[in-house]
Copies of this chain bind each other. A is one copy, B any other.
Amino acid sequence: MIQVAVMGYGTIGSGVVEVLETNRERIRRKTGHEIAVRYILDLREFPGDPHEALIVHDFSVIEKDEEVGIVVEAMGGVNPAYAFAKACLLAGKHVVTSNKALVAAHGTELLRIAGEKHRNFLFEASVGGGIPIIRPLTQALAGEEILEISGILNGTTNYILTKMDREGQAFEEALTKAQELGYAERNPEADVEGYDTCRKISILTALAAEREVNYEEVSTEGITHITDTDFRYAKELGTSIKLFGSSRMENGRASVFVCPMMIGPDHPLYSVSDVYNAVMVRGNMVGTLMFYGSGAGKLPTASAVAADIMEAACHMEDHIPMGWSDEKQVLSPMKEQRFRYFIRFSGSASEKLPDVEAAFGKVRAAELPGLDEFAVVTGEMTESRYQKLAAAFGDIRQMIRAGEIIC
């Protein structure tokens, strides 16, 4: 019998309890252990809840109970999640979390302590919700040199962009709808500004590079400036716009960025819609892989937490080598990255296109009726070259980076 404590009885925490109950027999058979929830830590009371008797308000009860072998951190945020997770590891307990903010900010230290204590700090659910991505990256692809990871890692923004794409909604309208449905928070900043995606791609990059990635150094651009007009051009060009978290790795250097990307139908992530997430991985031998599924939601995320609990249960006395070292991964600056660029210029194409092509080279152009503007997609160039060329044009209304497949 392995005793588990669940910290945080919100959506994820209650989902974990539900998954452990629903699949109890299967989990027992696969791990050889009965997994029992002994405590649920939450500040609130839950009168009438079937697990009311397990609720505790004092973390030290969990920390001090030597029978608790595995602690699930499902509180979210960095504080007090960090202090609690660290204390649990130091007390010799395994810690499983779904909290990307915690992992991105303190993963290096928590992984180190886990190693020193011969325990495990596991976080499959922190990226891609129910999608198995961390385990494949660290196990099935352990022998690969990872060249690129690109993901649609945030369900809220993907839902908003899908609504804009399919129904021609403006950003604000789609955001309001997402909030009504509970897909977006009242304060949507972490999602729509790309901060959530930034933490997730930083975690994936750190796993692939086996070095610490400072998420604060990652160039991060959200979707608040994307308009319905952009999507009208996207339709005209046979493309779509998605919020990408990407890293490209070469010769020990990594470049990591979060930004909206215009991609064509040949891109594996093109058809990932609504609240779904997907992660594309390119390895030097295996080529392109994609992992797709529910990136959030109570039960999918809880399922990933349960898989980590099972893994910990099978390794109660040993540390599974995984994660990254204290060494810092050097990140290439964004200005060295190469993209195509979707650019909207005010004025008419017939008049200005020659100037645009004189500067940017051969482009693909599109015009929409009734707008005093036109758009182009350039060939590939570095970000610094784009910035330099764009500075000479005073009439740029929009720029969205584009994949290589659409020209």
**Complex Cα distance A32/B251, Å?**
22
**Complex Cα distance A286/B131, Å?**
8
Q: Is the CB of A303 within 8 A of B144?
A: yes
- A135 nearest CB neighbor, chain B only: B140
Q: Is the CB of B132 within 8 A of A136?
A: yes
**Complex Cα distance A300/B299, Å?**
32
Q: Which residues of B contact A145 (CB under 8 A)?
A: 23, 26
**Complex Cα distance A285/B129, Å?**
12
**Complex Cα distance A86/B224, Å?**
60
**A288 at interface by CB-CB < 8 Å:** yes
Q: Is the CB of B294 within 8 A of A291?
A: no
**A53 at interface by CB-CB < 8 Å:** no
**A124 at interface by CB-CB < 8 Å:** yes
- A293 nearest CB neighbor, chain B only: B289
- Identify which of B141, B292, B303 contacts A283 (C-beta below 8 A): B303
- Copy total for this chain: 2
Instruction: Digitize A301-318: 1 where CB-to-B-CB distance is under 8 Å, 0 elsewhere.
Output: 011101100110000000
Q: Is the CB of B289 within 8 A of A132?
A: yes
Q: Which residues of B contact A136 (CB under 8 A)?
A: 132, 135-136, 140
Q: Which residues of B contact A27 (CB under 8 A)?
A: 142-143
- A309 nearest CB neighbor, chain B only: B143
- Identify which of B268, B306, B311 contacts A292 (C-beta below 8 A): B268
Q: How far is the CB of A337 from chain B (nearest CB, A)?
A: 25
Instruction: Digitize A115-153: 1 where CB-to-B-CB distance is under 8 Å, 0 elsewhere.
Output: 000000000100000111001100111111100000000
Beyond known contacts A271-B271, A283-B303, A286-B300: 16 more, CB 8 A cutoff: A23-B284, A23-B285, A26-B143, A26-B145, A27-B143, A130-B289, A132-B140, A132-B141, A135-B139, A135-B140, A142-B307, A143-B303, A143-B310, A285-B299, A286-B294, A289-B291
Binding site for B on A (CB under 8 A): 19, 22-23, 26-27, 30, 124, 130-132, 135-136, 139-145, 265, 268, 270-271, 283-294, 297, 299-300, 302-304, 306-307, 310-311, 321
Q: Can you name 6 A-B residue pairings with CB atoms under 8 Å? A: A26-B143, A142-B310, A143-B303, A286-B294, A287-B293, A288-B294
- Going nearest first, the 6 A-B pairs with the smallest beta carbon separation are A132-B140, A289-B293, A290-B292, A286-B303, A285-B303, A130-B286
